[in-house]
């Protein structure tokens, strides 16, 4: 029988935890953790999932799709409208790599610290 584990937190390394938390807060609507500071910031989801951001001196962003510095982590978010979500994320400071595999189904972006993440068309809505 497998161990029954519940995912409680995802933490991203970055150079500026408060700035990266602000990006994801604006993109997701998650609530900032009240004890966030310049070394470790976080966002809370109603079901208890915590998205954290920790300061790393000398942080090197991933170089996706080139693996000189591997992506380290991959997060996907589902959205109803890929075009609308893309516009909002780019306004918030996300990047969009030239390398895209299937823009009708999903799109790859990078957050302000360089982590790649995907938007996926929500098939359940």
Extended strands (E) in 1-125 = 9-14, 31-32, 40-44, 50-55, 75-79, 106-110, 116-121
Q: Which residue has the higher pLDDT, 84 or 6?
A: 84
Query: Rounded CA gap, 9 and 41, in Å?
Result: 12
Cβ–Cβ under 8 Å, residues 9 and 52: yes
State pLDDT tens for residues 93-120.
999 999 998 888 889 999 999 998 898 8
Amino acid 70: pLDDT: 86
Helix (H) or strand (E) holding 24: helix 17-28
Statement: residue 122 has pLDDT above 80: no
Secondary structure element (H or E) that encloses residue 58, with its range: none
- Is the predicted pLDDT of residue 92 greater than 90, yes or no? yes
Cα gap 76→78, rounded to integer Å? 7
Q: Is 8 left (phi over 0), alpha (psi -120 to 50) or beta?
A: alpha
pLDDT digit string, tens, across residues 14-73? 999 999 999 999 999 999 999 999 999 999 999 989 999 999 999 999 988 888 998 877
Query: Is pLDDT at 4 greater than 70 in this prediction?
Result: no
Host H or E run for residue 105:
none
């Amino acid at each position: 029988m497998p161990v029954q584990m519940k995912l409680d937190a995802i933490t991203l390394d970055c150079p500026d935890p408060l700035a990266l938390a602000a990006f994801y807060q604006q993109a997701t609507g998650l609530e900032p953790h009240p004890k966030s500071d310049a070394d470790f910031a976080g966002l809370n989801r109603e079901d208890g999932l915590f998205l954290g951001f920790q300061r790393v001196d000398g942080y090197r962003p991933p170089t996706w799709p080139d693996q000189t510095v591997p992506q380290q982590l991959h997060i996907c978010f589902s959205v109803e409208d890929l075009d609308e979500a893309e516009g909002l994320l780019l306004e918030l400071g996300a990047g969009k790599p030239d390398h895209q595999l299937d823009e009708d189904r999903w799109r790859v972006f990078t957050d302000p610290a360089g982590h790649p993440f995907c938007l996926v068309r929500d098939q359940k809505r």
